[in-house]
Each structure stands twice: as structure tokens, then as C-alpha cells.
Structure 1
Amino acid sequence: MRQHSFAVAVYQHSILYFKGNRGKSWLKINLYIIYFQIMRLPAYELRRRLYIIFRGEEGLDYGGVSREWFFLLSHEVLNPMYCLFEYANKNNYSLQINPASYVNPDHLLYFKFIGRFIAMALYHGRFIYSGFTMPFYKRMLNKKLTMKDIESIDPEFYNSLVWIKDNNIDECGLEMWFSVDFEVLGQVIHHELKPAGDKERVTEANKEQYLQLVTQWRMTRGIEEQTSAFLDGFNEVVPLEWLKYFDERELELMLCGMQEVDVDDWQRNTIYRHYTRTSKQVVWFWQFVRQMDNEKRARLLQFVTGTCRVPVGGFAELMGSNGPQRFCIEKVGKDTWLPRSHTCFNRLDLPPYKSYEQLCEKLNFAIEETEGFGQE
């Protein structure tokens, strides 16, 4: 098989293998092949134990490599540049389905593929790169959408509905009808909220019905087929009925982990080998972590664990190759060495650096300039 290709899935006993290359371009080059592999397999095969191999690397996948694979792949397939998803608004970077996705004639197949992939991530306990809007999670859970749900994705539209609700429509002299218009790619699309809606005026007596219908329309406009395709793919791997015990925020945490890194919780749930909590290198390490911004902390966490997300229960619930595995800092090597990570064991090999400045320099270099996995 050629070096640049993404290998077919391999079955061995109860394990599902995926092989591929790392690098900024391999996902773009082989995304269609990944799509083909996931779509052609029966759903039960996608629930097998996963084993991910990055060609040419030493890493053995006891959990860490697959975490990285899901993180990288989700970053690519959910990228708004493909026009399948878009950001909720300029101040909310949660993702929602893009009504203009129909410009790609195969978009419904891609949404089904993404649904399967997201379900795989949930089933195998892996985090994805970016989360969806709360209304989208509620749609996955088949929960009723309310007017308040619009606020997070379209504050101006929400405020206009609140004004209608709080004021007497008959006294304002507004001419409103049970129909709406919206624009997609320069084309104005007209929609009747109910049969013959163009001919029925909104009044104080019927405005509650109008608010209910326009809320439902705003949350589903132009994306009904795409949402259905996504849910069909998801349901094939993880039956949606299994999600009925969760609410939308719990579902987000299961898929994305915690967004903020709690350093106190991180430090409290870290163990040490050949170091102690009072070793100067350990004190320097936590000093280094605390002076970082949250983005850089997340990148450090990804360097060591394979993902920048934290489990729902915090650092106490980090998982390794054999179950729960605390974040570990081990004294290894010489002060001239760079730090190394063992993502399957959530372990950082931290050499005995001689100064705080040296530790910062080496850790910064490891986080910013290196990629790949160590082997144990």
C-alpha cells in the first residue's frame, strides 16, 4: 500500500484497526477514503474496540492515539470551510448546520457520515474538537425547542420575539402575517408558517401560536433534511433512545469534555514518580501551568493525554490503557532532554531541569514544535 494512502480497516478478533499518516495534509487528502471506510462498515463493526496506527510512528494505541485520531478528524470534518456547518454567530463559535450546505450535491451523505463518526466518538468515550449549539443537542435528544433557545444563536431575532410577546400587537399597528422570508446565498426563500399563512394576520389573540411556529421555523429553517441525515447516521451506531437519560449539557460534556482547565483540580489529581510534590521541578511545572492562558494549558494537556478536553468528572476521571489513569509526572533523562509524553498512560516524562527558565523553554518547545507519540 502506498505511503500516502489511508489504509482500509483491518479486522482481527474483536478489534477494528485504522491505519494512516499524520501531518497537516493527510486528513484532507484521505478524507474521502475515511468516509468510505466508515460508511461501508455495518454499524456493529464501528462499535468494535478501536486500534489506530499513525504510519511511521512508534505509538501503541492503548487509548491515547485514538483520542488524538478522533480529535484531528473531528477538527477536519466539522470545519466550516466545507460549508456543512457554520458558527452560530460572530460571538458564539459553537457549530450548527449550514442551510447553504445544499451547494454540495452529496451533502446529505456527508451528514450521515458525520453522524456515524460523532456516534463512534461518543460510544468509544473520545472527545471531538468542537461542540454544537445547545439547540442542536436538544434536537438530538428529541426535546422541545423553546423561544429561549434562539437567544444563543440569534440574539437580535430573539429580542424581536420578546418584544412581540411583551407588547400588544393590535395597539402597535404592525402588519405581520403567518409567513417569513430568509436569505440563503443571495436567494430569498419565502415560507408559510401554516397553511394559507400569507392570508392570516398576526393579532394579539393568535400571537402565541405565531411565536411557537416562528420559533420552530427559526430552529429548523433550511436544515430539516441535513438534520435527519445526521441523526440517521448517529442512530445506526448509537441508538438515540440511549440518550434519553441525559440532558443537552450532559451530552455536550460527554462529547467535548470540559472547556476550561481547572488547574487546582489538575494538580490535586496528579501523581509523581521519582519526584515528590515538593520537588523543585514539580513546583516549577505548576508555576509554569498557572502562568499560561487557558488555550496553552489545553495544548499542554493535549501533548500529554492526546486531547485538550477534560472528562465530565474532572481530572480524577482521566482514562488510560487499563482504566482510570491519573495525570503523571515522572523524572526521566537528563536536563538536556526535551519532555516526552505517553498519551496512552497520561504521563509526562519531565527531565530534572536546573532552572525555571530552562523548564519553561523546554516545555514550550515540546508543546509548540513537536508532534507524535512516545512508546512504552
Structure 2
Amino acid sequence: MGYDFHFYRNHYLSLEETVKSLQNPELEGQLFSLDESIVKYSESIFTEIRDFRSPIGLKSTLIHPIDQDSMHCLSYPQLVKLPVPDIRLRYELLRQFNARLFSALPFLSLESNSVIVKSTLMLRNLIFHSVKMEFFYDVMDKTSTVHNAPTVRYNRLKLAARLEKRNPNEILTDEGILKNTAFGIAFSQLRHVDPELLRPKKPSGTEPHFALLIEFRGEHVQGEGGPYRQFFTDVSRELRDVNSLPLLIPCPNAKGKVGEGRDKYVISPSAKSRLHLKMFKFLGQLMGMSIRTGVLLTLDLPPFFWKQLVSAQVTMTDIEAIDTHFYGTMRFFEEASDSDFSTIFQKFTVPLSDNSICLLKKGGDEIDVTFENRHEYVKFAQKARLNECSSQIKAIKRGLTDVVPHHLLGLLTWQDLEWRICGKPMIDIKLLKRHTVYNSVSPTAPHILYFWQVLEEFNQEDRRAFVRFVWGQERLPANDQEFNRTATRMLIKPYSGTTSPDQAFPRADTCFFNLFLPEYSSPDILREKLMVACHFDADSMNADNVVPDDAEPENVFL
């Protein structure tokens, strides 16, 4: 009769009804965004159920109507008022499309200009994440090489000592960057390395996957995974410090404390010297290594950045997300009346994200913007801002495609690429819990239950501090698939000290994502000890001595 077990209208009973639904004039112009929402909604259901390899295995009857009081209502507002048969019909079409594409992808030559390839790439937002990423990493595996990893050597302790002595407002020279930053030292040591050596074969099992062998001089470190992750953490920190590296700067909204995206960084338009462009290329190579090996760069970059790397169109909406003032100014010029221009003193110039001035035409600093030429000014100003970092983006993309096959990028959305390189900024405790295993301790032991309770109560800053303490990174893999692909799991082991557990601190084997957790007698004691451990300054990776469980909290890299 067209109804399911829950008495929701399940499907249309005739072909005529089905065709009429697909041709609904009220949805004209909305279908692509509607289908995007259905793909994301079905993937969220797939994540909750996790009984299938991908959303292809979901039956349409599992796509339930969205309750107006649910969180899904905020995430997928377009689907709230859409009839259930329409949602399920469109989902079934998308599911069938993905099922056939899953089988066809290995036979498509993505570098060709054929109609079928162009159409597939145009529909990349409608491809289930698991479908595209399984193909993506299969190609990555087949383009990897077996070799000894290039080595980067530097003394982190000396770098930290120099940083402490430096004036906080002192901007490093190019020579200073090459000598006093992990990024600059690695850039100098790797600039002539064959990019093929940066594409390592993924090892079997839980062996660490790394593209570089990082050697910390002056520190006794055993294992490769911990130093490798710490290097990417160090580089991420330097990239966020405008006085250490001139490549990225806080976006205009961050500097003006207005609008959205105040946590975002953008490329500095003035960083375009020959050396800077080589550094941007190296940044692209680091991003490629991040994708291949699963280590994360902790960077907050806006869609305006990521879209250009996957050749997606950037618009003024992307500019608004990083520079509300400029966006508003352009709107004002477009809508201003003739009389408004009596009080406007604007030349044919525009400030870029770093406040450097760009001439929009020859002699633009002497040409007034008038009511008659205002549209020309807006056109030129918008073009300048949309392309303000095009040379730097090209350099990053050259480096990225040294490590990742160029044509694979066309299969990714901008968010796919961001999650592969930077993970998600929000630490999802439920996701971490699904990928935690236990050694000689029960997952239902009281102190384990206290542990998860306390982590859930942590704010995002404290959660990032915990991940950094136990793993040497500030973010987790983006989803279950990434956890599984990178063989990442947290292992909780029992406390083995001789003193009272309530007096001991947690300890971490950061190389292996292992946590040694004492059997605390209450959530409050566990919270106190864990907070001290997470925020204790344990940046050194020196593991010369075995640290007893009842000593001060420390990351031990073994």
C-alpha cells in the first residue's frame, strides 16, 4: 500500500506518481543542493548504524523523516518539509548512481576530457564519501614507492631556546626562517629530494606510516611515529605564527574582530618572492605527505583556500566569510546613488588581505571612483581579491601533486581535501571511543567509565590538549574510515605503580597512542590528574629514563 512498518508513506505506487514527483516545478533550481543534503543525511545515518561498508548498503526505508526538534533539522533544513516518499525516491536514485559508479571508477581515465569523466567530476558532491575514498586510496597505494625515507635532522630544544630569547614582535628574516624554524630547516634539507621519495608504501598492520624520518638531535627517542607526528605539529604551530613564517596571516575578519571565520588563516598576498613560492610548494608537499600517511596539519584555512586547490569556483560568498568589510563595501558601491558619491573619495585601488594596496588599472591611484564607473571598479576589485593569492595557490598545488596524482583532486570536494589534510577541528569523543581498545583492563571498569565521562565534559580546548598529550597531534582522523585506513586506535593500559592510584598521574606512549590510566576512585580525582597531565609542559620528547607511573606527568615517546 506504499507505507512502511512505522506507517510513513514509503514510496509511490505508480510510475506516473514517481515521474510527477521528479518533475516537481517547486523544486526547480534546488535539486542539486537538495541531493547534496540527502547524500550528507544518508551518510550520517550510515555512521550511526555502521552495519554496512558504505551508504550503498542502506535501504531507503532507513531514511526516516526529519523531526523538527532534532539536530538533523539544523543540518538539513531543506529536507524537513520534503515528503518522505520524495526523500526516499531521490535517495534511491543517488544510491543506484553510486553503486554503478563504484564499479565503473577504476575504468575511468580521470585525466581525459570525455563527457562521462566531465559529468562524473561535476557530480563529485553527490558521490558517497566511502565510494570516492576507497578508489582514491587504491590509486594512492598503486602510485606509492618502496624506499628509505629521506631524513630531516634538527635540534628542537635549541630552537625552543632561541624562540624564548627572541623578541615576540621580531619578524624572522628569510635567513632566520631557514635556520630557526622546523619548517625552514626541513625545507632546506629536502628541497633537492626527488618527490618520488615522498610517496611511501603503506606498511601492513599497525606499523607507522611515515614519509620522512625525523631525527631530533639532543633527545633520546625510540620509534619513528612520534617524532614524525610531532614534526607536523611543530610546523603547524609555526605556520600560525606570523612572526616565524610569513606565508599565512589571520584573515581580515580575525584582525577586525567582525563577521564569521575569525579563527581562519589566509595566504599572505605579499609572500610571493621566489623563495616564498618555493616554500609554498614545500607546504603543498607536506600536505601531500599528510594525505598519504594520515598525519595531520593543524591549520584553520577557509573554503576560499581549499576550493582553489580542487579547482572549484570561488565566489564573493567565500570572500564574505573571511572579509565582511570588503564584501559590504562592494555591496555599497553597487547600490549607491549618485548623491552618495559626493562624500566618497575612493581611487581605483583595493586593499588585499594583508592590507597591501593593489592598483586595479594603470594609474589607478590617481583615478577617482564615480557613480558612472562604479560597476567597473567593483568588477576589478572583486577580481583582484578573488585572485589575490593565485600564484601561491599554484605553487602549493605543484607541491601537492608531486605527492598526490593530479587528477585525483578533481574527485574531491573542498571539504574532502580539508579533512584529509587537517582532520576536523572538533574532537568527537564518541568517534574516539569507537576506536579505543583495552589491554588488561575492562571497558566497564569504574575508572574507565569515569574517564569517558570526564572527556565528554571537557571543552574543545581541553580535548585537543588531551589528544596532544596522548598522541602528539591536536586533531583526530576525520571519520571511522580514516581511523581504519590509518590503523589508528587509542590503547588504554592499566596503572602499574607502587603508590596509591589516586596519587599518580596518567602517562602516554605518544608514538603508539597508548594511555596508562591509574584506577582513580572518583571522576573528580581523575579530572584533576588528567587536566594536569594534559596541560603540563611536556613538549620534550626525551625518553632517556623510564618514568615511573607515580612521577610527574609526562609524554614518553617509545
TM-score computed with the length of structure 2 as normaliser:
0.55
Distance 1:313 1:185 in 2: 35
Q: 2:234 and 2:297 mapped to 1: Cα distance?
A: 8
Would you say 1:15 and 2:177 are equivalent positions? no
Change (3 A) 1:119 1:140: same
In the TM superposition, 1:48-197 aligns within 5 A as: 48=200, 49-50=210-211, 51-55=213-217, 56-61=219-224, 63-81=225-243, 82-89=245-252, 90=254, 91=257, 92-101=262-271, 106-163=275-332, 167=335, 179-182=348-351, 188-192=357-361
Q: Distance in 2 between matches of 1:47 and 1:78?
A: 26
Q: Which amino acid aligns with 2:330?
A: L
> 2-side partners of 1:98 and 1:239: how far apart?
27
In structure 1, how many angstroms separate the alpha carbons of the residues matched to 2:158 and 2:456? 30
CA contact (8 A) 1:333 1:352 kept: no
1:305 corresponds to: 471
Partner of 1:374: 556
Rounded to whole Å, the distance in 2 between the matches of 1:187 and 1:249 is 29
How far, CA to CA, are the matches of 2:369 and 2:405 in structure 1? 41
Find the aligned partners of 2:510 and 2:534 in 1 and give their Cα distance.
13
Compared with structure 1, are the counterparts of its residues 143 and 357 closer, same or farther at alpha carbon in structure 2 (3 Å cutoff)?
A: closer
Q: CA separation in 1, counterparts of 2:472 and 2:386?
A: 35
Name the CA shift for 1:212/1:343 in 2 (closer, same or farther; >3 Å).
Answer: farther
In structure 2, the CA distance between the partners of 1:330 and 1:47, relative to structure 1 (3 Å rule), is: same
Tell me, in whole angstroms, the C-alpha distance in 1 between the residues paired with 2:154 and 2:361: 49
CA distance in 2, matches of 1:122, 1:148: 28
Alpha carbons of structure 1 residues 211 and 23: separation in structure 2 relative to 1, 3 Å: same
Please state whether the residue corresponding to 2:386 is helix, strand or coil.
Answer: helix
Q: CA deviation at 1:327?
A: 2.3
- Residue 115 of structure 1: SS of its match in structure 2? helix
CA distance in 1, matches of 2:158, 2:474: 18
| CA deviation map 1:90-109 (0-9, x unaligned) | 2422221112335x773233
Counterpart of 1:39?
Answer: 191
Q: Which whole-Å CA distance do the structure 2 matches of 1:215 and 1:349 have between them?
A: 55
Q: What percent identity do the matched residue pairs reach?
A: 24
- Could you say if the C-alpha distance between residues 266 and 31 of structure 1 is closer, same or farther in structure 2, counting changes exceeding 3 Å? closer
Is it true that 1:339 corresponds to 2:506 in the alignment? yes
Tell which deviates more after alignment, 141-150 or 177-186. 177-186
8 A Cα contact 2:282 2:399, kept in partner: yes
Deviation at residue 121 of structure 1 after TM alignment:
2.1
Alignment match, 1:6: none
2:182–2:234 contact (8 Å) kept in structure 1? no
CA distance in 2, matches of 1:366, 1:72: 20
For residues 226 and 355 of structure 2, the distance between their equivalents in structure 1, rounded to whole angstroms, comes to 45
Cα distance in 2 between the residues matched to 1:375 and 1:127: 18
Distance change >3 Å, CA 307–CA 24, structure 1 → 2: farther
Are the aligned partners of 1:94 and 1:132 in contact in 2 as well (CA < 8 Å)?
yes
- Name the counterpart of 2:483: 318
Q: CA deviation at 1:257?
A: 0.6
**Paired positions, count:** 356
Q: 1:268 to 1:295 in 2, by over 3 A?
A: same
The normalised TM-score by structure 1 is: 0.79
Structure 1, unpaired ranges of 5+: 1-11
- CA RMSD, 1 decimal: 3.7
The Cα of 1:85 is off from its aligned counterpart by 1.5
Q: Match of 1:250, as an amino acid?
A: D
Q: Among 429, 436, 441, which residue is 1:270 paired with?
A: 436
The answer to which structure, 1 or 2, has the higher relative contact order (CA under 8 A, 6+ apart) is 1
**Number of the residue aligned with 1:362:** 529
Aligned to 1:9: none
Q: Residues of 1 paired with 2:182 and 2:197: CA distance?
A: 21
1:233 to 399, 404, 421: 399
What letter matches 2:394 in structure 1?
S
Aligned counterpart for 1:214 among listed residues 354, 364, 381: 381
Structure number with larger C-alpha Rg: 2
Q: How many angstroms does 1:171 deviate by?
A: 8.9
Which letter maps to 1:330?
Answer: K
Deviates more, 1:150-159 or 1:175-184: 175-184
Q: d(CA) in 2 for partners of 1:185 and 1:298?
A: 29
Gaps of 5+ in 2: 1-145, 161-178, 201-209, 542-554
